[in-house]
Structure 1
Amino acid sequence: MVTYAYRCPQDGAFDLRAPMGQAPQSAACPTCEDEAPRVFLAPRLGSGRADLVRAIDRTKASADRPEVVSRLPASRRRGTPVTSNPLHRKLPRP
């Protein structure tokens, strides 16, 4: 289901949900029941998931205001485990 926008001459804008491609060119206003023509608006892209919206905003901001890096990021490698087993000393080293 897609949300389509209509504008009544007396009562203003209202939305109507219909299957994609099956919205009528005019719909009855829910307040005065007068015919209201369908209007075309910019897509409502800002109503997505919060984490995706933040990622998109961060990407757009980095295009003209890149983040300044002052140090290397922390290493995520785990250190080599230390063993106290004397038999491990006989194993070949890499």
Structure 2
Amino acid sequence: MATFEYRCQQDGSFDVVLPVGTAGPSTSCPRCGFPATRVFSAPRLARMPAALREAIDRTERSAEQPEVVGRVPGGRPARRSTNPAHARLPRW
């Protein structure tokens, strides 16, 4: 099911829940009964569960600003490599 937004000239906007792909270009207003036209708007992402929305936001942010860590999660310090080739790598 999807939520579609319609706008009535007299009563303003209202939502209609219909199966995906079945919304027509107009429907009758539930308050006054006059024809209301369909409004194309952004998806209702605010109705997404908070944990899922945060995971999506974190993924998008990591594309531009990846998180850099200085130690292994859990409080243990990172082990230093003894490989001489690793000594030339940049340090954080």
TM-score, structure 2 as length reference: 0.67
1:25 aligns with 25
Let me know the Cα RMSD of the aligned residues: 1.9
Unaligned segments of structure 2, at least 5 residues: 76-92
Structure showing greater radius of gyration is: 1
Unaligned segments of structure 1, at least 5 residues: 76-94
2:59 aligns with 59
Report the number of matched residues: 75
- Identity, % of aligned positions: 53
Q: Secondary structure at the match of 2:7?
A: strand
Amino acid in the other structure paired with 2:72: L
1:8 aligns with 8
TM-score, structure 1 as length reference: 0.66
Moved over 3 A (4+): none
1:45 aligns with 45
